[in-house]
Structure 1
């Protein structure tokens, strides 16, 4: 998993929630909390902060000092000596109030990570035909639309992600649409509070919202425990949960790992696909280059798992989608020991924020940073910077690798059969939460390839 990047912001959220609880707005120890609220999001606040004070800046969460790093050079100095085995699994479980697997030491953490990655790889290998079928059904639906009909990207691609993740992770029980609908309802209740309610402290101020969140989490846990019980001991080992059940994990640990994968997998997969399709609709040239690569690599054959690594331009398009959309704009790590960045000393137990949204659009690192340009990833320097940030290579989390696979299947199927077009006059805006999410009214139109 992204050792430091994807969703490490969970540490930030927990801290902010605690600060908001301990230090009411009326007290002087609020620090910069009101400034963050005024800017609209933590990312926007950090962009302003680094624009004013440079790549290393500090501010206050309540009564606690925080250091933020906003350039590749400064991040490299901090990451290299401080890389640990802490993972997204540990952090998200902490946010959810889970304890199992968080205190077993580095050896257990590495073993758990390998098991988790093996479960993801196994389910992709065993279920790739089903994934391809789900995508083809969606593209077939798009093909049936009149040329000028607006296609709602968020609704359709979130629905696809929910179907894909639940069936691949939890098995054929979720071929039933009613099960998927129930899962989606609870997923949205949980994720919306993780992404917003903890950050602004609003959930703690609303007993109704807190009760709704806790009810959804309990119901999701019950479903996942039931799935694990039903699939335990069966001969067909095809789902993510099956690999976990073959290990030495307890039932509780299996449930928690399933929760992490399904919660994060749905959101990352959906938003990567949404942004990628949106950006393709803005560039006929990129669509045609993808189409040509499909002809060169696949010919008339459908995309397959073993051929995906050969689709190099597809990889560039997805990398550029993550960069341009700032898919995960914030990350964070607690400083375990005293450290140093440039001439700045970072005391032990300081919260260090990685302002990834700032770095991903830093003009010193990326030429024309606001332009969607997949060709930038033909350059070695761009690939190295991207890998350093944890979005590619060995540090990429299993959920992101899963999302890349689904997105490649989506784009290859769409581009082979359809042309994507922007809706004139549409302004696509993002909600800067744990994952950069386009607003619901994001549309495209499609036309058949001749």
Structure 2
């Protein structure tokens, strides 16, 4: 389905990673803020009209929002058409569900109707990404991720593979957003704290900014604790082109080195009652980067989308919490399911009231 640049090493891979970071990290994110805030506001305004007793499906809403954000921000103008986003979302969802089945040990019959449906969806999804890349190339926006991936030195097939990789990372964001709202629905006092922080910051700066979001302690701590507790991506892997020494052990080149991030994030030596969601654990001291590693462990080769993911999570909370309060529907049992990522096995339902 995909041969990703994220698995590549060497000078060319390092160059491409540097260009990707220039688009997706640090101050470059300022250019995304307005678009993210607009899309988040659309969702909040829709939820605002929900009757108080209506059960709202969190995963369904977060999937739709994240698909729209990731396709538009990363792949450009082609996905400004909602119908193209919908086509992509439907095909992506079918593909990701099949990949989760495979990750859980299900072996698909290569000639079965189910396999053919999966292959058709993957083909359609790649075709949509190819069209998006072609439209981006014609537009020439060098600050767009799609054009970094669509570099002239890279075959089109490789560029599409890289787009698929970033789309899959968008699926991790869907899970993170779903878990975040679940945890906050069960901790209403945090919703109130975030709402107060946002109002205070917006009054000072006359609007939302990346810097203001970073200064909101309850908001940032809630995001960090969501990533730690839920262990969205429970493992990470790297492969070196040279032999390396790890704690006195020589690891031959081309040997996959896997770190169980979920184990580190729930290590009792680092986290008191690690399975419990407790945003206050980040209040007193800065997190240890070796203990808090939700985006990987390989230094500069950590997930390039981490800043963007945290920004999206922050903007949505800053848009939602001052306007609405959401409550966990009783008698649900939320069970984590780990395959490609860790997500709730079943839909998470909440009710919503205006503040």
1:218 is displaced (CA, Å) by: 2.0
- Counterpart-to-counterpart distance in 2, 1:322 and 1:416: 22
Greater Cα offset, 244-253 or 278-287:
244-253
CA pair 376-434 structure 1, distance change in 2 beyond 3 A = same
CA pair 131-220 structure 1, distance change in 2 beyond 3 A = same
Q: CA RMSD in A?
A: 3.0
Confirm whether residue 134 of structure 1 aligns to residue 39 of structure 2: yes
Using structure 2 for the length normalisation, give the TM-score.
Answer: 0.86
Confirm whether residue 329 of structure 1 aligns to residue 258 of structure 2: no
1:436 is displaced (CA, Å) by: 1.0
**SS of corresponding position for 2:337:** strand
- Counterpart-to-counterpart distance in 2, 1:235 and 1:205: 40
**SS of corresponding position for 1:408:** helix
Greater Cα offset, 291-300 or 180-189:
291-300
Greater Cα offset, 409-418 or 184-193:
184-193
Using structure 1 for the length normalisation, give the TM-score.
Answer: 0.69
1:339 is displaced (CA, Å) by: 5.3
Confirm whether residue 299 of structure 1 aligns to residue 184 of structure 2: no
Q: Please list the CA deviations of residues 391-410 of structure 1 after superposition, one character each: whole Å capped at 9, or x if unmatched.
A: 69866412232211111011
Greater Cα offset, 353-362 or 383-392:
383-392
- In structure 1, the residue matched to 2:324 is 418
Confirm whether residue 287 of structure 1 aligns to residue 191 of structure 2: yes
Q: Is the 8 A contact 2:104 2:339 kept in 1?
A: no
Q: Is the 8 A contact 1:339 1:347 kept in 2?
A: yes
Confirm whether residue 436 of structure 1 aligns to residue 346 of structure 2: no
* Structure 2: segments with no counterpart, 5+ residues: none
1:137 is displaced (CA, Å) by: 0.9
**SS of corresponding position for 2:325:** strand
- In structure 2, the residue matched to 1:311 is 216
- In structure 2, the residue matched to 1:67 is none
1:179 is displaced (CA, Å) by: 1.0
CA pair 193-289 structure 1, distance change in 2 beyond 3 A = same
**SS of corresponding position for 1:233:** helix
- Counterpart-to-counterpart distance in 2, 1:206 and 1:246: 36
Greater Cα offset, 413-422 or 333-342:
333-342
CA pair 209-340 structure 1, distance change in 2 beyond 3 A = same
Confirm whether residue 357 of structure 1 aligns to residue 253 of structure 2: no
- In structure 1, the residue matched to 2:89 is 184
Pairing partner for 1:153 from 43, 55, 58: 58
- Counterpart-to-counterpart distance in 2, 1:223 and 1:422: 37
CA pair 195-123 structure 1, distance change in 2 beyond 3 A = farther
- In structure 1, the residue matched to 2:78 is 173
1:358 is displaced (CA, Å) by: 2.6
Q: Please list the CA deviations of residues 164-222 of structure 1 after superposition, one character each: whole Å capped at 9, or x if unmatched.
A: 11111222332322211210122122222333314414125663333233222222222
Greater Cα offset, 416-425 or 186-195:
186-195
Q: Is the 8 A contact 2:2 2:165 kept in 1?
A: no
1:249 is displaced (CA, Å) by: 3.7
* Structure 1: segments with no counterpart, 5+ residues: 1-95
- Counterpart-to-counterpart distance in 1, 2:68 and 2:315: 14
- Counterpart-to-counterpart distance in 2, 1:334 and 1:127: 32
Q: Is the 8 A contact 1:387 1:395 kept in 2?
A: no
Confirm whether residue 119 of structure 1 aligns to residue 38 of structure 2: no
CA pair 296-394 structure 1, distance change in 2 beyond 3 A = farther
Q: Give the paired residue count.
A: 350
Larger radius of gyration: 1
1:136 is displaced (CA, Å) by: 0.6
1:419 is displaced (CA, Å) by: 1.4
